[in-house]
Amino acid sequence: MMRRYAFKTLVLNTDMSPIGKCTIARGWSLCHQNKAYELESSGVEYRSEFLSLFAPKVIVLYEYKKIDFCKRTPLVSKGKVLLRDNYRCQYCGAAAATVDHVVPRSKGGEKSWLNLVACCASCNMRKGSKSLSQMGMKLLSKPRIPQFGELMHSDG
């Protein structure tokens, strides 16, 4: 069974640049208040006793909203780390489905963009709670803080 409002609505500026995502209810509200229009529907229908609405997949604002993306740091999450690292293990290059703390939490490592990398299950198991130098492992690329707009293509 699908969760109620499980999907998110992509919000675009008047120049079609992505601003962010909002709930379906917020998307409906913005359209109803004539602050945005629906560009694409998800095809998912929500019904009540008196009303039937399709969930907006993409909406576009009527008025341009100035956003300074350079100052916005996205919150870190497993899905966003995987997206940043292109779903590739940062130790061996294989497909990744997990996230690893470069400096293990048991050794004071934090949950931050600069300490998390995408990792395959075998490398994650092999590394465990040891440091990279202890295991003789190297990162394929240095962890970085992504720009806010980079993560707009995720479905999460």
Collect the ranges in the chain with pLDDT lower than 70.
Answer: 1-6, 68-72, 148-149, 152-156
Instruction: Establish if 152 belongs to a structural domain.
Output: no
Where a domain ends, among 64, 82, 106? 64
pLDDT of residue 142: 96
In a domain, 156, yes or no: no
Res 70: pLDDT: 59
- For residue 60, give the nearest of 121, 100, 97, 14 by alpha carbon: 14
User: What range defines the domain where residue 47 resides?
Assistant: 8-64
**Using only C-alpha atoms, what is the Rg of the chain?**
20
**Does residue 52 form part of some domain?**
yes
Count of domains in the chain? 2
